[in-house]
């Protein structure tokens, strides 16, 4: 591949994927080619996705993930049309390319998380796609480890998330779905802390009733906690956190707290 700087990208992709993996030297050559003009255009973005679809799940050099995430984040966020943001066209492009092989692999998930963290704003559809993709990846083994907690935290608090540094209802629902699925599993201790912190923030740091639990929040909380037919330790810790931090609590939630010994 001595002609990696001039060969048509489709041919270069075939050369790189001929053995089914991307090695360190190939990472170097790809980087030299696509960053030659410091702009990642749509053809180069397609080139990266085409390579990843072939080598997904293989023993690639670690630099491949770094390059893939860096370059495609730049392609999406450093454009002239919507700099720093993911617009509708970019959202459709990302989702279509990632779904092309009917799976979201670890490299693509890293890209999605990085975009959510880095972007000033994203579309609601992309936020939903990231949350559903992250949920499927996390629950593949039925438990949440420390690295996955970091990814969840990045998505929940990322600038491009639904409420930025806050926690919106979609993100709160996502946390409850995760907790119901992994309740009783050998999860990282950090998961328990994040669950309590983020959901307390959602309930007590909203614009409608800051510092208070209003009727809507009380109804939602009780429904979510009772949804799987049990009140686990993480949910009890959440109730205790809300009780300790709220200026006032709607009677329906207060009664429920009494019933579970909080």
Q: What is the pLDDT of residues 158-197, one digit of tens each?
A: 765 554 567 999 999 999 999 999 999 999 999 999 999 9
| pLDDT tens sequence across 15-28 | 999 999 999 999 99
With a pLDDT cut of 70, the percent of the chain lying above it is: 97
Q: Per-residue pLDDT for 247 more than 70?
A: yes
Give 258-262's long-range contacts (Cβ < 8 A, gap of 24+): 260/231, 260/236, 261/236, 262/236
CB 252 within 8 A of CB 219: yes
Can you tell me the mean pLDDT for 212-226?
97
> b/e for 198-210, b at 16 or more Cβ within 10 A?
bbbbbbbebeebe
Number of DSSP helices (H) and strands (E) in the chain, helices first: 13, 2
The domain segmentation of the chain, as residue ranges, is 1-122
Least confident of 75-79, 138-142, 176-180: 138-142
How many of the other CB atoms lie within 10 Å of CB of 48? 24
Find the length of the chain.
Answer: 262
Mean pLDDT of the chain: 93
Q: Per-residue pLDDT for 45 more than 90?
A: yes
Q: Per-residue pLDDT for 98 more than 90?
A: yes
Q: How confident is the model at residue 5 (pLDDT cuts 50, 70, 90)?
A: confident
Helices 42-55, 88-99: inter-axial angle, 10-degree rounding: 30
Three-state DSSP class for 85? strand
């Amino acid at each position: 591949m001595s002609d990696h700087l001039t060969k048509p990208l489709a041919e270069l992709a075939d050369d790189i994927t001929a053995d089914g993996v991307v090695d360190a030297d190939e990472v170097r050559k790809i980087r030299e080619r696509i960053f030659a003009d410091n702009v990642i255009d749509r053809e180069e973005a397609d080139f990266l996705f085409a390579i990843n679809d072939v080598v997904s799940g293989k023993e690639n050099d670690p630099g491949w993930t770094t390059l893939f995430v860096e370059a495609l984040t730049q392609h999406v966020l450093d454009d002239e049309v919507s700099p720093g943001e993911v617009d509708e066209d970019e959202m459709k492009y990302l989702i279509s390319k990632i779904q092309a092989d009917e799976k979201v692999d670890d490299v693509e998930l890293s890209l999605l998380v990085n975009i959510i963290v880095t972007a000033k704003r994203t579309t609601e559809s992309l936020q939903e796609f990231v949350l559903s993709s992250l949920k499927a990846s996390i629950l593949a083994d039925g438990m949440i480890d420390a690295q996955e907690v970091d990814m969840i935290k990045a998505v929940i608090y990322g600038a491009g998330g639904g409420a930025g540094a806050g926690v919106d209802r979609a993100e709160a629902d996502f946390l409850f779905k995760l907790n119901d699925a992994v309740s009783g599993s050998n999860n990282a201790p950090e998961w328990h802390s994040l669950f309590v912190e983020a959901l307390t923030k959602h309930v007590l740091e909203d614009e409608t009733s800051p510092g208070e639990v209003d009727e809507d929040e009380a109804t939602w909380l009780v429904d979510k906690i009772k949804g799987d037919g049990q009140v686990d330790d993480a949910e009890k810790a959440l109730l205790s956190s809300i009780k300790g931090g709220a200026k006032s609590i709607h009677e329906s939630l207060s009664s429920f707290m009494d019933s579970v010994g909080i």
